[in-house]
Amino acid sequence: MTTVGVVVGAVAALALIVVVGLMLVARMVRNLAPGAARGSHAGADVEAEQARAVLEAETTEARAAARRLVEAAKVEANEVATRLRSRAEEEAARVAADAERAAERARLDAERVAERARQESETAVEKARRESESVVEKARLEAERMVAQAQALAEQAAGDVAARARREAEQAVEGRTTQLNERLADVEQRLNRLDERERRLGEEAERLAARDRRIAVAEADLEARESEVGAQEVALAEADEERRRELSRIAGLTAEAAKTELVGVIEVQAKREAAVLIRDIESDARNTAEQRARHIVVEAIQRVASEQTAESVVSVLHLPSDEMKGRIIGREGRNIRAFESVTGVNLIIDDTPEAVLLSCFDPVRREIGRVTLEKLVLDGRIHPHRIEEVHDLARYEVEKLCQRAAEDALVEVGITNIHPELVELLGRLRYRTSYGQNVLKHLVETAHIAGLMAAELGLRPELIKRGAFLHDIGKALTHEVEGSHALIGADLARRFGESEEVVHAIEAHHNEVQPQTIEAVLTQASDSCSGGRPGARRESLEVYVKRLERIEEIASSQLGVERVFAMQAGREIRVMVRPDDVDDIGAAVLARDVAKQIEDELTYPGQIRVTVVRESRVSEIAR
């Protein structure tokens, strides 16, 4: 359809050009006629007048023919005329302008020619007439040819469209037929599978029926046997009861009393034998200490440390005056809300004179909040926008302090070539405490202890110090990642390229994973030594008192105990026993039982020594 429209538009443009050319020729003839009339030949006026009449008639016919062609072209191109009208108008305007300019030039040339060749007016008129006739004929023929060509192109385009539509329809029919054939084949396959399934279900039903028959026979047989067994059990129960009555009559005790007495005797005998065996083993170990020194030292210093948590979750900031509290709160509380929203730290303002509390479980975030509030108080400008600016500055400063603290700790223990992410996590431990002990300082102390132990045992201090220094690295993420800090730290070390020996020492230092290497055992021992030394850690008074009370209750609940004393802040317990009720072997058994019960029931840093004191006093008076 686009090609037909273009052809029709071209025909219309050519028709307009022909009309314009005819009009120009007629104008030239009219301009030439007066010049010829002014000549000396009177016959030329008549011929010129006739030629002009003929030209006007032919021009009128040409205009009518061109108008008919244009109207036909407009009818045929009605659908595309809207899109091409603007282009045709521009082209017609340009052609008209060109034609006017050409006509002007022709008029000037004609006037000059008329002045030079008035005598040749008749020849010029005749020549003009012939040329006009030729031009009109050519225009008519060209218009007819273009119309025929446009009709042929339109018919060809229509044929192409019909053929393409027919091919598309055939392809659609073929595709639909293929889909129907595929669906028919799929339906046939499903029917075949359904038939096969029905056949299998029939066979399965037959097998189940046969099985039910066999089960019924077996149940009948089983019921008969159960009846026989029941009769035999009744007979055996009667015989057993008769035997028990006879034994009770002979021994003079009931069955329960005899069982209790027998169990007590066996338990006492087993404890005695176990205590004797333990004493013999310890005596043998002391006698062979020189040959087995390294092995005994490693096993003796192994101790499981308790899970560590941060008790300190509050920081105190002193204010220059109580008036500053109102400025911190702000109008309708907007400043304190903005501070808590930006820092993630709870700000507690109470009746405490010239002080506010900052509460947050994350110690790094709490320190950033403290530094932010301190800078705001010193600056005096406290509003939401200023809080955001100061918080960014404080966070940058705290991150630098953490980085510097981690680097100083690494230099102190002599560890190099560690991943930058681990260095950043170590720096965050600068503000983490466990039972009042700074975790980063605890890591440094543990690394030094582990290095000294490794040197004494003839092992590689570098590897053991590295594992001991990184064993609590997981505490930097315990508030962000679920799980034990030992397993979290092992995952971090494995992710950042630490060796398997170091990873195993980290994950095994709290026995989440059973220690398998000497590095893991020494890491446990050095951790216990650092956390268990006097003064290393503190705990709340309430927890401390409850633990002492429970220790004394455990020891006092044992048989033969007279008094219990908790000494050295609960790190040693002395148990006084009655010598008549507890002998030396029983004292050893009692100490082991108390220590075992304390380990199972209590959580405490370091270790607790249990000492059982059995004192026999004999006095006589000399008269």
What are the pLDDT digits (tens) for 132-183?
677 767 867 876 787 677 677 767 776 777 788 778 878 877 887 888 888 8
Q: How far does CA 337 lie from the centroid of its chain?
A: 30
Alpha helices in 417-517 (DSSP H): 420-428, 439-456, 461-469, 485-495, 500-507
Residue 417 sits at φ, ψ, to 5 deg, of 55, 60
Give residue for tokens 């176990």. 274
From edge to edge, which strands make up the β-sheet containing 609-614?
561-567, 572-577, 609-614
The band of 298, judged by pLDDT with boundaries at 50, 70 and 90, is: very low
Ramachandran area for residue 415 (φ above 0: left; ψ -120 to 50: alpha; else beta) = beta
pLDDT value of residue 76: 65
Mean pLDDT of 505-520: 85
Residue 458 backbone zone (phi > 0: left; psi -120 to 50: alpha; other: beta) = left
Whole-angstrom distance, CA of residue 321 vs CA of residue 309: 35
Rounded to whole angstroms, the Cα distance separating 107 from 215 reads 126
Interval 332-347 mean pLDDT: 86
Model confidence at 70, pLDDT cuts 50, 70, 90, reads low
For 435, the 3-state DSSP assignment is coil
| Distance from C-alpha of 150 to C-alpha of 158, rounded to nearest angstrom | 12
Report how far residue 53's alpha carbon sits from residue 502's, in angstroms, rounded to the nearest whole number: 119
Confidence band for 58, pLDDT divided at 50, 70 and 90: low
pLDDT digit string, tens, across residues 19-40: 666 666 656 655 554 444 444 4
For tokens 């029905």, name the residue.
Answer: 198
Choice among 172-176, 250-254, 482-486 with the minimum mean pLDDT: 250-254
Q: Where are the alpha helices (DSSP H) in 252-312?
A: 255-287, 293-300
pLDDT for res 348: 85
**Residue 250 CB burial class (10 angstroms; 0-12, 13-18, ≥19):** exposed
Helices and strands in the chain, H and E counts: 18, 8
pLDDT of residue 97: 77
For 88-92, 108-112, 220-224, which range has the lowest pLDDT when averaged over its residues?
88-92
Measured CA to CA, the distance from residue 448 to residue 340 in angstroms comes to 40
Read off the amino acid at residue 160. D
Across 568-595, average pLDDT:
85
The answer to which of 303-317, 478-492, 510-524 has the lowest mean pLDDT is 303-317
User: Of residues 152 and 491, which shows the higher confidence score?
Assistant: 491
> Average pLDDT for residues 380-403, to the nearest whole number?
88
Please tell me the distance from the alpha carbon of residue 306 to that of residue 604, in angstroms, as a whole number.
6
| Average pLDDT of every residue of the chain | 76
Q: Return all residues near 604 (Cβ < 8 A) that are at least 6 apart.
A: 306, 547, 570
Rounded to whole angstroms, the Cα distance separating 471 from 505 reads 7
Is the separation of the CB atoms in 519 and 463 below 8 Å?
yes
Position 15 scores a pLDDT of 63
CA atoms of 609 and 607, how far apart (whole Å): 7
Whether residue 87 is predicted with pLDDT greater than 60 in this model: the reply is: yes
pLDDT at 309: 34
Stronger pLDDT, 271 or 128, i.e. the higher one: 271
pLDDT of 68 strictly over 50: yes
pLDDT for position 110: 62
How would residue 16 be classed by pLDDT, with cut points 50, 70 and 90?
low
At 308, the pLDDT band (50, 70, 90 cuts) reads very low
Rg for the chain, CA atoms, rounded: 58
Q: What is the pLDDT of residue 325?
A: 83
Which of 150-154, 307-311, 554-558 has the highest mean predicted lDDT (pLDDT)? 554-558
**Across 306-315, 394-403, 534-543, least confident range:** 306-315
Q: How far apart are CA 301 and CA 252, in angstroms?
A: 54
Residues 164, 148: Cα–Cα separation, whole Å: 24
Question: Can you tell me which residue has the tokens 């029919």?
Answer: 173
- Res. 189: pLDDT tops 60: yes
pLDDT bracket for residue 437 (50, 70, 90): confident
Inter-residue contact 503 to 487 (CB < 8 Å): no
Burial 153-172 (b: 16+ CB within 10 A, else e): ebeebeeeeeeeeeeeeeee
C-alpha 623/C-alpha 389 separation (Å) is 94
Collapsing DSSP to helix, strand or coil, 309 comes out as: coil
SS3 448: helix
Interatomic CA distance for residues 211 and 433, integer angstroms? 71
pLDDT value at residue 34: 47
Lowest mean pLDDT among 283-287, 362-366, 537-541, 546-550: 537-541
- C-alpha span between 54 and 224 (Å, rounded): 139
Higher-confidence position of 577 and 540: 577
- State the maximum Cα–Cα separation within the chain, in Å, rounded to a whole number: 200
Tens of pLDDT along 262-289?
Answer: 777 777 777 777 777 777 777 766 666 5
Amino acid occupying residue 530: S
The lowest-confidence range among 5-9, 221-225, 382-386, 599-603 is 5-9
pLDDT at 52 over 70: no
Which residues, in sequence order, are bridge partners of residue 316?
Answer: 357
User: What is the spatial distance between Cα 554 and Cα 590, in angstroms, rounded to a whole number?
Assistant: 11
3-state SS, residue 317: strand
Q: What is the DSSP letter of 40?
A: S
Decide if 588 contacts 603 (C-beta within 8 A): no
Give pLDDT, residue 399.
87
- Write down the pTM of the prediction: 0.41
**In contact, 479 and 471? CB cutoff 8 Å:** no
